[in-house]
Structure 1
Amino acid sequence: MQIEISAKKRTLQGKGASRRLRGSGTVPGVIYGGESPAQAIQLDHNSLYHQLKQEAFHASILSMEVEGQKERVLLRDIQMHPFKLQVLHIDFQRVDPNKKIHMKVPLHFMNEEIAPGVKLSSGIVSRVLTELDVSCLPKDLPEFISVDLADLAAGNTIHLSDLQLPEGVEVPSLVKGDDLPVATIVIPRAVAAEEAAAGVAAADIPTTVQKKEGVAKEGEKKDAGKKK
């Protein structure tokens, strides 16, 4: 999916100029990287705010048009107001199609409801990671990486080495030898306590039956003695 974004060159800079831009519904920003010098830009706040709600906007190569000239960029940094729903500043990095990039990509968890640990053991999926730092060429950058939980049993864990990565995508952590956990299924204490109680109750049943059988046999012996 190609996401397009429009911006204008920004000539006035400084805190005062940026404050006035924000007051007029505009977000100050910058494009840097590549062989071109850094360029100060400004973007429409409402349009940008709605685009930031898209997950793909944060992990995709964006097509930015700056006064008729298009550039391929990555979102690198966002500064938000401490309590207002307002974007204060935004940074983009130019993309070289022949150089690898490092990017955080969201993880999409699939088949949670049919995982044996959930369906059979009443467990809960614990997501250790929600995004993954990957390295690849811009053309190979995935919007997300799927994590299939269809075969995950209670107490088991999916690690980075278990993921099906798209072609051309590497995980720096794995290259370094860090096979980090991604997701696991845990049994809630309440469920574990109920199962333990049920196990104790089940273990008591044969004992009770044996006692009753023993009492019955003793009664039979007494009756037999009286008859004699």
Structure 2
Amino acid sequence: MRDATTIAAEARSRAGKGTARATRLKGRVPGVIYGEKQTPELISVDSRELLKELNKGNFFSRLFTVEFSGKAERVLARDVQLDPVSDRPIHVDFQRIGKGSRVRIFIPVHFTEQDQSPGIKKGGVLNIVRHEVEFFCQPESIPESISISLSGMEIGHSIHISAFELPGGVKPVIQDRDFTVATIAAPTKEDEKLVAAEAAAAAPAAAAAAAPAAGAKAADAKPAAKPAAKK
């Protein structure tokens, strides 16, 4: 589990494109806090601070405390709009998280000890079906990630959600089936055939390219004809 990250914000008095544009010119990103059946709050955050948090990763699975106007709101980030040219944030949405509430959130999946998997040592490939899994959990119990060791796993092994040890109160949204998260797959026959076909196709071209050079070398090596003797 991780502690909530604090973000300093400022209240905004008005919405609208003109006001938002003026906010961005000041180096800030306009945003809104909504949810918990309360009135939405218009805010702005420092663009550099927001970009720093985005670059840390797992932005949408981390708990934040947004401080502004002498109060603090516990929130989750739900949306960030990016500029299509600069790829910098231009708007951010936060959702209030009340005490005792349950959130629905995607959590990253990590795979450890890949070097101890006999299947991977034999040339098998870790085929990740779900890089993230959606869970129900309490805000205080949001894990940074879920992980599983690949030690001892052979080619053909399927890793289902039931194989993960989940923290208390963390349950997958999909509960009617034991879905697959990853498999250890053998290299496909198609890949092997493709490599062989490419090698076979390249061979005639290489031989054709080498032929003129070989002919030139042969001509250079051939002794010059002797002039005919005068009678």
Q: Which residue of 2 aligns with 1:209?
A: none
User: Structure 1 segments of 4 or more deviating over 4 A?
Assistant: 190-194
Q: Which residue of 1 aligns with 2:157?
A: 156
1:139 deviates by: 1.6
1:93 deviates by: 0.6
* Secondary structure of residue in 2 paired with 1:55: coil
| Pair 1:6 & 2:41 matched | no
Contact 1:122 1:191 in 2 (8 A): no
| Pair 1:95 & 2:94 matched | no
Q: Which residue of 1 aligns with 2:182?
A: 183
Equivalent pairs counted in the alignment come to 191
Output one character per residue of 1:101-153: Cα deviation in whole Å (capped at 9) or x when no partner: 1111111221122212112x111111111111110111211111112222321
| CA root-mean-square deviation | 2.0
Q: TM-score, normalised on structure 1?
A: 0.78
Q: Which residue of 2 aligns with 1:133?
A: 134
Amino acid at match of 2:178: D
Write the distance in 2 (CA, Å) between the matches of 1:83 and 1:117: 44
Write the distance in 2 (CA, Å) between the matches of 1:50 and 1:193: 44
| Pair 1:70 & 2:72 matched | yes
Output one character per residue of 1:165-198: Cα deviation in whole Å (capped at 9) or x when no partner: 111111021x2x132211111222479859xxxx
Amino acid at match of 2:160: H
Amino acid at match of 2:134: D
Task: Among all aligned residue pairs of Structure 1 and Structure 2, give the percentage whose two residues are the same amino acid.
Answer: 35
| Pair 1:59 & 2:58 matched | no
Q: TM-score, normalised on structure 2?
A: 0.77
Write the distance in 1 (CA, Å) between the matches of 2:32 and 2:192: 56
Output one character per residue of 1:148-169: Cα deviation in whole Å (capped at 9) or x when no partner: 2223211111011211111111
Q: Which residue of 2 aligns with 1:145?
A: 146
Any unmatched runs of 5+ in structure 2? 194-231
Amino acid at match of 1:180: F
